A and B are shown apart, each in its own frame.
Chain A
Amino acid sequence: MTNDLEFFDACACIGLPAAAPVGVPDPPGASAEELLAAMDRAGIAKALVWHAAQRDGDPLLGNDLLAEALAGRDRLVGVWAILPTPCGELGDLDEWLGRAMAGNVRAFKAFCEQGRYLLRGEVIGDVVERLLAARLPLILPVATEPAWRDAYDLLAEFPELTVILTDLPSWGADRYFRPLLGRYPNVHVEIGGYIVDGGLEALVADYGAARALFGSNYPVMPHGGMMLTLAHAEIDDADKQAIAAGNLQRLIAKVRA
């Protein structure tokens, strides 16, 4: 079974970061072409992709750069950055969402720490309501404690929202994410940063394989680490395949275009 696993990476990035730590990663970023070449080497079929400029520069520029880079590349599915609506930066929300969907965007991401906004209804409620209606996932990076607090706040207000927690810190984060998995049925964990020994098996045993998504965090991390971890996790083969690709495929299939 191991050799037959099909992978759909839930967390890959293209573009150059504004300030990657020296030597990590090396090279600091990847173009769409380079990402596809690395996916070919590793044996990854598809990837959900965001752009470094969405986080580091201008989210709207990053969205445009992503759309341009992904055009005609069906193996790469887009992630657009959201922004608060009170400033009017997204323009007409329905038109903005329509452009995203037309550009093969199937998930959105909130870089609230870099964007200096809160994940609350009065800030992003208009966007979240539309994501809920279209069953579109919102990806939340949770590398820091304030980010976890933001995630808790948002889910308390929008408990049905489909959320993918990503950028988990390398120190095991079970004490942060397990309460969310227990309370909110549409919360998922992208496991690229979740490397605690036995953690994946415990997550599957307690919450089911449907809550975990394979992610590589390429190009910051290499592909092989989490691939080998998942391939030899002590879980059912069907659960491995669900985590490797099936769960993300299911989330995307549920999106109402």
Chain B
Amino acid sequence: MIAEGPLAEAFWRHGRCEACPVIDMHGHMGRWRGIWFPRPSTEAMIRTMDSCGVRLLVFCHHHALFAPDVGNDANIEAVRKYPDRLRAYMGINPNYPAAIAADLRRYDDHPGVFVGLKLLASYHGLPWDHPHFAPAWEFANARRLIVLGHTWGGSRIDGAEQVRQAARRYPDVRLLLGHCIHGAWDDAVAIAREFPNVHLELTAVPRYRGPIERFVAEGLTRKMLFGTDLPWFDPHHAIGAILSADIRDDDRHDILHRNAERLLGIADCGFRIADFGLRIKKRKEQENVTSAQEPTP
């Protein structure tokens, strides 16, 4: 049965757990050049989420990251179709600064769609501190947005040093280290401990024995976020690996949903996701009122 405990038993018996609605903080969508995906469509991904008990997926469509001709429209379309199951990161491709500026200008035109930004610097070939990224960082910092950045050990583009610089320079960005600076676990631990705004996103990490237990033992349980790269990786694989880890069920609840609920401002994922778009819209209206009351220069 994989491991001991009520969560392992529930997932083993049913493939999901009502008391533990999973939030996946790192997804994609659509086809991509390097892999044949059996289930790349929005509908197929929702079906996978249903079977694995994934209540909400925060994703960035492959087109938004790899097809500048299409850009973020694919994100908007998918969330509009499944507003109770999906939220998007706005994809930022630093090779197209004009497109970034245009996308950021229309960020507010889509309430309830975006929770923040997604950086994939290693694939785009420019480091996090490149000037083309600066408008996106400043935009996110000013609004306290989530930024999910692909991070990889040893990379000069999005490795530990770039992460440290960004975390220090943009303290109000809620920075998710996608893949936890993969392989550079010591750096991931040190940075997550040093910077309150940094979180550890676990895509591709649970498949190895050790890092999950290490992060929990370092006191970082409340900074760990579940992710799968869906449609890349089967959520059951990552869930099963986390169930295998030598940690407590309370830690697993934090990793699988509670931390994401806190980050997204969702008190109870199972019942409140549908209200999320309304909450965003309401906040925007409040911000507009506040803005209108401010004195003009």
Q: Do A and B bind?
A: yes
A residues within 8 Å of B by Cβ? 2-3, 21-27, 41-43, 170-172, 174-175, 195-202, 218-229, 231-232, 234
Among A2, A21, A172, A201, the most chain B Cβ lie within 10 Å of the Cβ of A172
When the two chains form their complex, are residues B210 and A23 in contact, meaning their CB atoms are under 8 A apart?
Answer: yes
Q: Which residue of B lies closest to A230 (CB)?
A: B236
When the two chains form their complex, are residues B186 and A23 in contact, meaning their CB atoms are under 8 A apart?
Answer: yes
Among A25, A27, A171, A227, the most chain B Cβ lie within 10 Å of the Cβ of A227
B residues near A25, Cβ cutoff 8 Å: 208-210
When the two chains form their complex, are residues B241 and A222 in contact, meaning their CB atoms are under 8 A apart?
Answer: yes
- Closest beta carbon of chain B to A248's beta carbon, Å: 20
Contact of A3 among B13, B34, B44, B213 (CB under 8 A): B13
B residues near A43, Cβ cutoff 8 Å: 1-2
When the two chains form their complex, are residues B51 and A220 in contact, meaning their CB atoms are under 8 A apart?
Answer: no
A23 to B187, CA, bound (A): 12
A198 to B37, CA, bound (A): 8
A200 to B233, CA, bound (A): 11
When the two chains form their complex, are residues A2 and B209 in contact, meaning their CB atoms are under 8 A apart?
Answer: no
- Closest beta carbon of chain B to A221's beta carbon, Å: 5
Mask of B258-293 contacts with A, CB within 8 angstroms, 1/0: 000000000000000000000000000000000000
A223 to B44, CA, bound (A): 27
A residues near B202, Cβ cutoff 8 Å: none
Among B8, B15, B39, B208, the most chain A Cβ lie within 10 Å of the Cβ of B208
Contact of A202 among B38, B45, B230 (CB under 8 A): B38
A155 to B2, CA, bound (A): 36
Contact of A171 among B34, B52, B244 (CB under 8 A): B34
Chain A CB within 8 A of B214 CB: yes
A219 to B245, CA, bound (A): 12
When the two chains form their complex, are residues B38 and A225 in contact, meaning their CB atoms are under 8 A apart?
Answer: no
- Closest beta carbon of chain A to B255's beta carbon, Å: 14
Mask of B69-110 contacts with A, CB within 8 angstroms, 1/0: 000000000000000000000000000000000000000000
Chain A CB within 8 A of B171 CB: no
Contact of A197 among B213, B233, B242 (CB under 8 A): B233
Q: Which residue of A lies closest to B242 (CB)?
A: A224
When the two chains form their complex, are residues B38 and A170 in contact, meaning their CB atoms are under 8 A apart?
Answer: no
When the two chains form their complex, are residues B207 and A221 in contact, meaning their CB atoms are under 8 A apart?
Answer: yes
A220/B208 contact (C-beta < 8 A), A3-B12, A197-B234 known: yes
When the two chains form their complex, are residues B244 and A222 in contact, meaning their CB atoms are under 8 A apart?
Answer: yes
B residues near A195, Cβ cutoff 8 Å: 207, 233-234, 237
A231/B12 contact (C-beta < 8 A), A196-B234, A198-B234 known: yes
When the two chains form their complex, are residues A172 and B210 in contact, meaning their CB atoms are under 8 A apart?
Answer: no
Among B3, B52, B186, the most chain A Cβ lie within 10 Å of the Cβ of B3
Q: Which residue of A lies closest to B8 (CB)?
A: A224
A25 to B48, CA, bound (A): 29
Chain A CB within 8 A of B231 CB: yes
Contact of B244 among A170, A197, A202, A224 (CB under 8 A): A224
Which residues of B16-49 have CB atoms within 8 Å of chain A's CB atoms?
A: 34-39, 44-45, 48
A24 to B207, CA, bound (A): 10
- Closest beta carbon of chain A to B252's beta carbon, Å: 11
A residues near B209, Cβ cutoff 8 Å: 24-26, 218-222
A201 to B204, CA, bound (A): 21
When the two chains form their complex, are residues B241 and A221 in contact, meaning their CB atoms are under 8 A apart?
Answer: yes
A2/B211 contact (C-beta < 8 A), A197-B235, A221-B241, A228-B236 known: no
B residues near A201, Cβ cutoff 8 Å: 38
A24/B15 contact (C-beta < 8 A), A197-B38, A224-B2, A232-B51 known: no
A220 to B17, CA, bound (A): 27
- Closest beta carbon of chain B to A15's beta carbon, Å: 15
Among A25, A170, A221, A228, the most chain B Cβ lie within 10 Å of the Cβ of A228
Mask of B192-212 contacts with A, CB within 8 angstroms, 1/0: 000000000000101111110
User: A174-B35, A224-B242 known; 18 other A-B pairs, CB under 8 Å?
Assistant: A23-B214, A42-B3, A196-B232, A198-B39, A198-B234, A219-B209, A220-B209, A224-B3, A224-B243, A225-B238, A225-B241, A226-B240, A227-B240, A228-B11, A228-B237, A228-B243, A231-B12, A231-B15
Contact of B186 among A22, A170, A196, A218 (CB under 8 A): A22
Chain A CB within 8 A of B185 CB: yes
B residues near A200, Cβ cutoff 8 Å: 234
- Closest beta carbon of chain A to B241's beta carbon, Å: 4
When the two chains form their complex, are residues A221 and B234 in contact, meaning their CB atoms are under 8 A apart?
Answer: no
A22 to B189, CA, bound (A): 14
Chain A CB within 8 A of B140 CB: no
- Shortest beta-carbon contacts, A-B, top 6: A26-B210, A228-B240, A224-B244, A198-B38, A222-B244, A232-B15
A30 to B72, CA, bound (A): 47
A residues near B45, Cβ cutoff 8 Å: 197
B residues near A198, Cβ cutoff 8 Å: 37-39, 44, 48, 231, 234
Question: What are 9 pairs between A and B in contact, CB < 8 Å?
Answer: A24-B185, A25-B208, A26-B213, A43-B1, A198-B44, A198-B234, A225-B238, A231-B12, A232-B15
